[in-house]
Amino acid sequence: MSITRILPTAEHVQARKLTPAQILQSLASRCGISKSGTKALVKERLKDAALNTTTLSPSARILSIDLGLRNFAFSLFTVPPTSPLLSPSAPQPFTTKKPGGKQTPREPPLITLHAWRHIDLVSALIDNLPPPPTTPTKPDPNDNPSHTSEPPDTTVPPSPTFTPSTLAPLTITLILTHLLPFQPTHILIERQRFRSGSAAGVLEWTLRVNTLESMLHASLTTIKALNPSLWSGELIAVPPQRVVRYLNGEGLLERWGDEEVMRDGAAVVPEAPKRPSAREVKQKKVDLVEELLCGGRVEIGNDEVLGMVELFRRQEKKKMGRKKKEQKKKEEEEDASLRKKDDLSDCLLQGMVWFEWQRNIKEMRDLEQWKDLLDGKKKQI
């Protein structure tokens, strides 16, 4: 997986003998635009994006949300002026001093991370519930009245209800308490699906998350319309499938990586391996974030973010030979940690990929070779 993916160059197009339709699909994939449909439809989407996408301000604050009720995660970052995300073709190298006074070049950070949180909204719902009722018990006539023993605990454990009347106040509290205080200029919300795994039925839990998604969009749009002094930024829905395809490089020019093999003087893309499982994709995203953090590509904005970064620090492998029970418990803990790290990785990578999409759209709009293609001119690329 990789973060930085620039637009295809004329050399790439000529070396691989791509047709205009294939070029359009590759451009759409690198700009976060749907590449399905006819060539005319894809071209129209690209032209619309080039005309309507505004250049991001250097002071843009991107808040990216990975939706979930038990696993709600979000990150907020800015992009420094020297970031390769702004100009990947000519990154400015940084230098770092090692012990002994020697300076070694290193790549500059991609982003500055100011907030990175994981929230269990189900627990928040339970905390706001009224005290649970107790079940009355009849006195036993055989009991000794002088015996003072503690009565059995007959408290009914609380269970949250996911009705609109309970999710609505939770949503507005989430927005006013956790999101808007960071003053984001762009809020990205992961687009939800109604079906999971191509199942015929719609799961109840999926409907709950979809309800939360709709309430976030409705509440933020209402705030922007009625009280722009509180928030007047942009609200964007991001399809998660396009983010994963972008990271995996499944475009026509780069599939499953950036490596090229030179055969007879021509660049050839290696054949794509078998499709990875959902767990493998999650682990790849977590590994990519760990690589970015350990490589200094993410600048830590404050101590709160540093606490989350600690979750991604690689731990030394312990010696094998545990008992089966200990091994099973360890695996369960690792699964829970992976789920949390997966949600944190999703929200961070989603924001970074979206920022790259905007940059690629701007470059496509400015480069003459792509303007000619979109305008229908038959100029040779």
pLDDT at 252: 32
Look at residue 372 and tell me whether its pLDDT is greater than 80.
Answer: no
pLDDT at 204: 80
Q: How many angstroms separate the CA atoms of 376 and 147, rounded?
A: 93
pLDDT at 125: 78
Question: What are phi and psi for residue 190, nearest 5 degrees?
Answer: -60, 125
E strands, the chain, in order: 62-66, 72-78, 94-97, 103-106, 111-119, 186-190, 234-238, 261-263, 266-268, 298-300
**What is the pLDDT confidence band of residue 222, given thresholds at 50, 70 and 90?**
very high
pLDDT at 280: 83
Look at residue 205 and tell me whether its pLDDT is greater than 50.
Answer: yes
The predicted-structure confidence for 303-342, as pLDDT tens digits, reads as follows 999 988 888 875 434 434 455 556 555 555 555 666 789 9
Check whether domain 10-87+107-129+157-314+325-374 has CATH 3.40.50.2300, yes or no: no
| DSSP code for 177 | I
The predicted-structure confidence for 50-69, as pLDDT tens digits, reads as follows 888 888 888 999 999 999 99
The predicted-structure confidence for 112-163, as pLDDT tens digits, reads as follows 999 999 999 988 877 665 555 554 555 555 655 555 555 555 454 556 678 8
The predicted-structure confidence for 156-196, as pLDDT tens digits, reads as follows 455 667 889 999 999 999 999 999 999 999 999 999 876 66
State if pTM tops 0.85: no
Roughly what angle, to the nearest 10 degrees, separates helices 240-248 and 324-366?
90
pLDDT at 92: 42
What are the domain boundaries of the chain?
A: 10-87+107-129+157-314+325-374
Q: What is the mean pLDDT of the chain?
A: 76
- Of 204, 224, 252, residue with least CA distance to 16: 252
